[in-house]
Structure 1
Amino acid sequence: MALWEHLGEYEGLPVFEFGPERLDDGAAELPEPPPAGDVAWRLSSGHAETAFRDLWRAFCASVDTTEVTALVFGYWGADYDSHFEYPVPLLAEAAAAFPKLRSVFLGDITSEESEISWIDHRDLTPIFREFPNLEHLEVRGADGLVMDPVEHSSLRLLRFESGGLPAQVVRAVAASDLPELVQLDLWFGEEYYGGDATAADLAPILSGERLPALLHLGLEDARIQDEIAEAVAGAPIVARLATLSLAMGALTDRGAEALLSGQPLTHLEELDLRHHYLSESMMERVRDGLPGVLIDLTDRQEPYEGEFFIQVSE
């Protein structure tokens, strides 16, 4: 997913922008909004002096929220702004007004608006509690992000894009009961930006006990990509995955050797290892060792002055 452009489509629906201009004197001259259920609604205060709370109130007052199925939250301010407002409490408070909401993207914010590791978050847990029918939740950024373990019987996709995912969040996901979850993606990022999770934190996820429906697992963008690969190599959950991604990180021959030496991976449909540090000979071994698996080994990197870099950090 591109970090330099906003979503144009979300969950099969065109994205319609509901921005600060809807609060201006000239709002009456703007095109009429489409029917509420025909689009994914994007709310963003941009860098205007508009309080996100005011934008949210205007949206709820002018759109038939009972028909909204998908919401995309763009820039809501930074914690040093006087008009900063985290969207999650606002959405949770209005839960009864969104009976058909199934998909939420929290943080459709480009690098020009805010670097991914500077996106200010707070407690994510109320979304799970107030929206028991939610199916898709995607979160970009993780500065200040907090989450408690949850039980949710409808969620099918959970994705965290970050330059530094806190261990507390990884442990909360690992301790959650998500029986219908089909896709899980975690971008670990850098410890400097708060990404302090370890491979050991993944043990409950890799056991698969709380994720009986999981078909895709992405453990990506990690400095510790080799350690993650070693943990994955013997993980029970891998045997029932269709796709596995260890992309975007600092994967070296050590991690690839663990994958080849561990449990069979030939059942996979796809293995994503793009942005890696594998030698040419190891790349060939991976291809030869996994016939029939669609393997992405693009974007091969070389260490710079002995340093191995992940794809997304700041």
Structure 2
Amino acid sequence: MTIGSHITTFAGKPVAEYPADLGKASHAGTAWRLEDPDYDNTGQFLERLEALAAQEWANQVTALIVGNWGGAYDSAPPIERLAALLPRFTRLRALFLGEMTYEECEISWIQQADITPLLEALPLLEVLTVRGATGLGLKPLRHTALRSLTIESGGLPADVVRAVAECDLPALTHLELWLGTENYGGDATVDDLAPILAGTRLPALTSLALRDAEIADLVAVALAGAPVVARLRELDLSLGMLSDEGAAALLAGQPLTHLRKLDLHHHFIGAPVLERLTAELAASGVELDASGADERDWDDRYIAVSE
């Protein structure tokens, strides 16, 4: 699976392109998307961002999407300039950094940067989604407004996972990390995830997604006894290499019958184990997505999104 199309909604709002959709989209009711149309670092991205920030209605914008800032395959996003300009959108509550298709830049080729300045510049930000993890950095910080943090990658570095785990995010209800494969820099271990699974710094967390993971079985084993699970409503281990070992650990561990939804789609769980899991959850009304079953041998297994 690759990311072949742009999102059409973000933070509950329809997406419109700036400036192409000016006059056709609501100023306040739109998630505005900006990019360099040539994908070649022509400077058009910053020109468009500055123009949007200068609009008299900029203070009505609540959601922004940053597409290809130009040469994303070899150039990190202009974080300092973004941190300086984005506070002009005084009602900005949702930001997507790096929303690109594989044709524009493969997810594991997207060059990122330290995103700490963005969070520091936007203390009222509630939703942050980042795509790509090459060069991605984060310093542990306290952010009292952030409710949703998503990092999509083909390989999430351990230092980023540890930084997320060390952040103090009292309002966060949704955390989504695409752990990926070591082939693309995804070297995080379950030990790096331990503070997240303990949930101490995430008192409001109700939705946890540890997706696209080569180490999905080890993650499932750790989740089987993780304190955070008891207060989750949604758990997502989809897109990864979850197999009988991980599914059996979930069955043998703490009850999951309190969940509203368990998402395992794209997995390598055999039919007998999957039938047991399905029966147990169905009896408690848990919504289970176990689509995309594949029983190929270990050496041929793969995560859904890597390159």
Name the TM-score, length of structure 2 as normaliser: 0.93
4+ residue stretches of structure 1 with deviation over 6 A?
A: none
Q: Work out which of the residue numbers 271, 284, 290 in structure 1 matches 2:275.
A: 284
Would the alpha carbon gap of residues 63 and 197 (structure 1) be closer, same or farther in structure 2, given more than 3 Å must change? farther
Would the alpha carbon gap of residues 33 and 97 (structure 1) be closer, same or farther in structure 2, given more than 3 Å must change? farther
State the secondary structure of the residue aligned to 1:163: coil
Q: CA deviation at 1:277?
A: 0.6
- 1:260 is aligned to 251
**Deviation string, structure 1 residues 165-197 (Cα, Å, up to 9, x no partner):** 111111011001111111111101111111110
Report 1:1-314 matches (<5 A): 3-18=3-18, 32=23, 34-49=25-40, 50-51=42-43, 52-62=45-55, 64-78=57-71, 84=75, 86-290=77-281, 291=283, 292-303=285-296, 306-314=299-307
Which of 89-98 and 157-166 deviates more?
89-98
Would the alpha carbon gap of residues 237 and 85 (structure 1) be closer, same or farther in structure 2, given more than 3 Å must change? closer
State the secondary structure of the residue aligned to 1:203: helix
State the secondary structure of the residue aligned to 2:15: strand
Paired amino acid for 1:311: A
Whole-angstrom CA distance in 1 between matches of 2:56 and 2:297: 52
Whole-angstrom CA distance in 1 between matches of 2:298 and 2:38: 38
The alignment of Structure 1 onto Structure 2 pairs a total of residues equal to: 303
Q: Contact conserved, 1:6 with 1:110, CA < 8 A, in 2?
A: yes
Q: Contact conserved, 1:46 with 1:74, CA < 8 A, in 2?
A: no
Unaligned runs of 5+ in 1: 23-29
State the secondary structure of the residue aligned to 1:36: coil
**Deviation string, structure 1 residues 77-122 (Cα, Å, up to 9, x no partner):** 23676xx561432221124412110000111101111111111111
Coordinate RMSD, CA, aligned = 2.0
Whole-angstrom CA distance in 2 between matches of 1:98 and 1:305: 49
Paired amino acid for 2:174: Q
Q: Contact conserved, 2:72 with 2:105, CA < 8 A, in 1?
A: no
Q: Contact conserved, 1:70 with 1:103, CA < 8 A, in 2?
A: yes
**Deviation string, structure 1 residues 214-256 (Cα, Å, up to 9, x no partner):** 1110011111100000110000000000010111111111111
Would the alpha carbon gap of residues 31 and 161 (structure 1) be closer, same or farther in structure 2, given more than 3 Å must change? closer
Whole-angstrom CA distance in 2 between matches of 1:293 and 1:38: 34
- 1:26 is aligned to none
Would the alpha carbon gap of residues 195 and 241 (structure 1) be closer, same or farther in structure 2, given more than 3 Å must change? same
Whole-angstrom CA distance in 2 between matches of 1:203 and 1:68: 37
State the secondary structure of the residue aligned to 1:128: helix
Name the TM-score, length of structure 1 as normaliser: 0.91
